[in-house]
Amino acid sequence: MVNDFPILSKHTSDAFFADDCTIWRSGTNLPQIIFHLQQDLNLIANWCKKWGLMMNSQKTTGIVFSNKRLTINSIKLTVQGNNIVFNDSVKLLGVFFDRHLTWKTHIEYLVKKSACSLNLMRSISGSNWGANKDTLLTLYKSLIRSSLDYCCFAYINLQFTFSQA
């Protein structure tokens, strides 16, 4: 279905996974980036209209990766007449990206998800009753380790410090 996806402007990239499409552009001139992204979004919207496809504007999210202080509210991009919401973090194929690429949001998500899975494992294990070691190991591998392993190559060299809250 996407074999004839429109060719975007020279420095805009795109990536597909099933029915998800992500476009991005990098540079130092933010107004120019916004201009070209809007042109590309218009091309995509026209392509969708041509093929009878609908973009979900509620799921369409923008993010600016930068160390600079930016007023996100000043960035205006639209898709099919709806403004794109810009956030400090976005979820892309199960991985959270924050605007400074610190991975803090993703790690907090993994900690919370792992804690819930550990609680489940605690509830089904017991000294005189409950799941045996092999069952618990299978649960660990499928519920916790799989989440920790997923896309870990992206942040494997991350160095951070733990703070006491």
Q: So what's the pLDDT on residue 83?
A: 92
Place of tokens 């552009």: 25
Task: Report the length, in residues, of the chain.
Answer: 165
Average pLDDT over residues 33-44: 94
Task: Give the mean pLDDT of the chain.
Answer: 88
Task: Rounding to the nearest 10 degrees, give the CA dihedral for residues 17, 22, 26, 31.
Answer: 170
**Among 112, 101, 95, which residue's Cα sits nearest to residue 20?**
95
pTM to 2 decimal places: 0.80
β-strands 20-25, 61-62 pairing: unpaired
* pLDDT (tens digit per residue) in 8-17: 999 999 998 8
Q: Report the DSSP pairing between strands 20-25 and 78-79.
A: unpaired
Nearest Cα neighbor of 44 from 73, 72, 20 is: 20
Q: What are phi and psi of 78, to 5 degrees?
A: -125, 150
| Token pair in block for residue 33 | 């980036």
Q: Kindly provide the residue ranges of all beta strands, DSSP E only, lying in the chain, ordered along the sequence.
A: 12-17, 20-25, 61-62, 78-79, 82-83, 85-86, 89-92, 95-98
Report residue 19's pLDDT band, with 50, 70 and 90 as the boundaries.
Answer: confident
